[in-house]
Amino acid sequence: MSIADVTARIQQIQSQLALLAPTPSSGTDFSSSLDSASAAATTGTTAGGDAVVADARQYLGVPYVWGGTDPKTGLDCSGLVQRVYSDLGYTLQRTAAEQATAGTEVPGGLANAQPGDLLTFGSPAHHIGIYIGGGQMIDAPHPGTNVRVESVYETPSHVRRIMPDQATTATASTPTANPGDARVSTGTPYATLFSAAAAKYDVPATLLSAVAKEESGYNASAVSPAGAEGLMQLMPGTAKGLGVTNPFDPAQAVDGAARMLRDLTNRFGSTSLAVAAYNAGPGAVLKYGGIPPYPETQQYVRNVLAQMQQAS
């Protein structure tokens, strides 16, 4: 066993010892923070945060298993967090202590927490949960329990935001016009759907067509070995977060993918980075500060942009 493995096990053991008998805080600072957080939940949230919460809810009832990372057999607190963000294309490290440094710190702590933010407890962190608003979180507490919704029982040591907040997304610079902004030809499969979604979300119809061709070859019944489904090859967790109830329905799939590509373009400021994030996940683009050095992703981006150029 390596030193890293030993360290991770020690942190997990500390987590369980601390969680078997948690002691809720009762000070006025925590009460006021919780009240502020509850009020904030009614005034706004983030689209990304909603996707995180929606994905986390599908694991409610999964039994707690120390060291668990597979919902089929059980999850621990950091395994749950890692799994949820992986469903949405983000790569987080394994332990609560490591996850406590992911993303960015939320100024003001719990009072300014938004759904989807990570709440960590202890220093180094021995427990972590996903904030859902209203002073509540989803977590995997300790042996003998299941993944559940519970009140935030004490002041978090850290509040970390992985997804971009609404203000950042709204004020992101608008990308320059792309030569692929032309309409797709009427002979293109699903041309009507691509054009309608393009008009609705202000993304190039040629981008939607190119992604569909690269992802599934315009096959609305396609299922990848990894489990991506439908015309736009949406993973089940991603589809759920986008409100797509049936990814095999071309209309729903195109609408969801168009919204996702719009948000990724606004976030990263370019079509090429949005396409890379669609393929490899936003976390990979953030990690490498650009198109990830994965041969598959780099070829994917080249193919999609080339198809857009050809269509124009």
Active-site positions?
215
Phi first, then psi, for residue 222 (nearest 5°) are -65, 145
Residue 58 in contact with residue 251, Cβ under 8 Å? no
Q: CB-based contacts of 206: which residues, under 8 Å, 6+ apart?
A: 180, 181, 182, 183, 184, 194, 307, 308, 311, 312
